[in-house]
Amino acid sequence: MEIPILFAAFILDLILGDPHKLPHPVRWMGNAIIALEPYCRSLPWRLTLSGALFASVLIGGTWCITFLVVTISEQIHPGLGVFIKIILIYYCISASSLASAAKDVVNTLQQQGLGAGRQKVAMIIGRDVASLSANGVKRGCVETVAENLVDGVIAPLFFAAIGGAPLAAAYKMVNTLDSMVGYKNETYCDFGKASARIDDIANYIPARLAIPIIALAAQVLAAKGRNAITTAVAEGANHSSPNAGYAEAAFAGVLGVRLNGPNYYGGKRVDKPYIGIRFSLKTDSRHIRQACDLMFLSSLLWVSLLTIIEIL
């Protein structure tokens, strides 16, 4: 993998963010998921088996299509091949759009009130928002920034470094499947089980690699690298996800806030443990700004580390 391509893709994300008016492969992935689900559900098999086929076809198909696009573009012209790789990996990264979404929630909450803030945060978190306080809205933003540092930056660049644009795109399909069908509710408990498990496996290494990266960024920004590591090691497993808690715990240690905890999903209370139990539950706007700064610097350090490894 030409590592400078990763850096170029990352810089492109910082400059352009997520241009909603342009075609976006991740939106195509979502459309493919919606289109294929009814056909797989109609198969005369157990839902767990048809769900596994569903996930396998979409993930494998994404890799194959991306591989063909890259191969054909390289055959047309090497420069075109490089350009296509940069664009495809750029579409797999979401650092800029993540920070923009979090800041939009804060601005909406301050300017339009709690009701509008709840509606805005509902676009980036999966829990019920009707009963969230202003503090709960802000805490949800911090958690999303922390968790999606892995999903939106660390993991896609990790897979791009290993297997280029095709593997990065396949990971993005894995992540999109988990966000759309990887729920433990009545509708997707069986059908989405394979999608959720594949996502857990794919994120296992990136989630843990994120800890020292976050710690280094925290040390540079606030001399709190030790806090990131100790909290991640002590409380990273205190989450319903086998991976999401580690980045959240590192962020909690750096920002000095308590994250996660009981929330409502589909009208039902889920008593999840807190992360950062020694810290206050109070979360304010500065914590979201600090979380975005931590996410951006961690992202830059990660892509820089991949570059150094490749050079060595």
| 269: DSSP letter | E
Lowest mean pLDDT among 50-59, 117-126, 200-209, 287-296: 117-126
Confidence (pLDDT) at 187: 85
Q: Is the pLDDT of residue 149 over 80?
A: yes
- Residue type at 154 in one-letter notation: I
Confidence (pLDDT) at 111: 93
Give helix then strand counts, H and E, for the chain.
12, 4
Confidence (pLDDT) at 240: 81
What SS3 class is residue 263?
strand
Domain locations in the chain? 3-311
Ramachandran angles phi, psi of 2, nearest 5°? -80, 100
- Residue type at 216 in one-letter notation: L
Q: What is the mean pLDDT of residues 157-167?
A: 96
Q: What is the pLDDT of residues 217-257, one digit of tens each?
A: 999 999 999 999 999 999 999 888 899 999 999 999 999 99
Q: Is the pLDDT of residue 259 over 60?
A: yes
Q: Is the pLDDT of residue 1 over 70?
A: no
pLDDT confidence of 263, banded at 50, 70, 90? confident
pLDDT confidence of 269, banded at 50, 70, 90? confident
Q: What is the mean pLDDT of residues 288-295?
A: 96
- The DSSP annotation for 133-149 comes to -HHHHHHHHHHHHHHHH
pLDDT confidence of 186, banded at 50, 70, 90? confident
Q: What is the mean pLDDT of residues 181-188?
A: 84
Tokens of 122: 């509902």
Residue 156 CA to its chain's centroid (Å)? 9
Confidence (pLDDT) at 245: 92
Q: Is the pLDDT of residue 310 over 80?
A: no
Q: Is the CA virtual torsion 150, 152, 155, 161 positive or negative?
A: negative
pLDDT confidence of 300, banded at 50, 70, 90? very high
pTM over 0.85? The answer is: yes
Confidence (pLDDT) at 2: 58
Residue environment code for 199-217, b if the CB has 16+ CB neighbours within 10 A, otherwise e: bbebbeebbbbbbbbbbbb
CA 117 – CA 283 distance, rounded (Å): 15
Q: What is the mean pLDDT of residues 128-136?
A: 89
Confidence (pLDDT) at 53: 97
